[in-house]
Amino acid sequence: MNDSLTRSILVTIGIYLAGQAILFLAFALPSGFGAQYGLPFALATVGFHAFLLGLLLVFKQDFVKEATGERLDRVNLANRITLLRVSTLPTLLFLVMAARDYHIRVPLLALVVLVFASDFLDGYVSRKAREVTKIGRMMDSSSDYSLLIVLTVVFYYFTFIPAWFFYLVVARLGLQVVLMGILMAVKRKIEPKTTFLGKAAVAGIMVLYAAVVLQRLFTIRTPELFVALLWAVAAVVLVSVADKLIFFERELTKR
């Protein structure tokens, strides 16, 4: 793989690291929590981006267009959008902690909506430009689960979802991480595969969270509909747990 891709990865991660620092300061300076959270945020976000950089360099060979086999010499637009979403995750977590004592809930919710919306943008861009890549699918799948974990923590913190649903989602996503880790250790490779019920569970959770945001932004008074949606999504998530175990057993024993 040529050095231009390496430079593109380095520049992209460097810009996003600087951007997250600016985003954090945009919240922290007006509200006055920079001194309290500044150093922990700096250490966490630098470490996170260093880890992200390492992963991208390790998987440079997967910056390949799946349709043609053409190797990329730079990080394309769709992957930049995915990386931007992933880059924002530590910032969201620290802003959630700060929201406990500082009045930043409204702009924080706006940021969550923007991050949430980006999940639908990168796939569209990659298909439109015919630049679907293996690394893009890997990052998109990982970012979906990472984003759901962060959103679940945010919504539970603000009591937008009940505790039992929080633990259900965390358990389901935790199972995904553990099983993928086992497959990576045994098979020595990452293959971004999913199942219909896995996609349905992720989509259902995202629809539920979108409904929560709309309900809060527009003060929609339909609690019975929200409860019905909540239980429907919970049922899909529970069924997807059994489906994931069956899928894992099949992948583990496949030659």
What's the DSSP call for residue 72?
Answer: P
Domain end point (choices 90, 125, 147): 147
Confidence band (pLDDT; 50, 70, 90) for 190? low
Mean local confidence (pLDDT), 228-244:
92
My answer on whether 248 and 180 are in the same domain is yes
My answer on whether 35 and 133 are in the same domain is yes
CB-based contacts of 145: which residues, under 8 Å, 6+ apart?
Answer: 173, 176, 177, 202
Inside any domain, residue 215:
yes
Domain end point (choices 122, 147, 172): 147
Please state the domain count of the chain: 2
Range of the domain at 45: 1-147
My answer on whether 97 and 1 are in the same domain is yes
Cα separation of 171 and 87, whole Å? 24
Domain end point (choices 120, 147, 174): 147
Spatial contact of 211 and 229, defined as CB atoms under 8 Å apart: yes
pLDDT in tens, 143-184: 777 778 888 887 888 788 999 999 999 998 888 778 777 776
pLDDT at 193: 64
Inside any domain, residue 106:
yes
pTM for the structure as a whole: 0.74
pLDDT in tens, 47-82: 999 999 998 998 888 888 877 888 888 898 888 988
What's the DSSP call for residue 14?
Answer: H
My answer on whether 170 and 101 are in the same domain is no
Inside any domain, residue 126:
yes
Inside any domain, residue 75:
yes
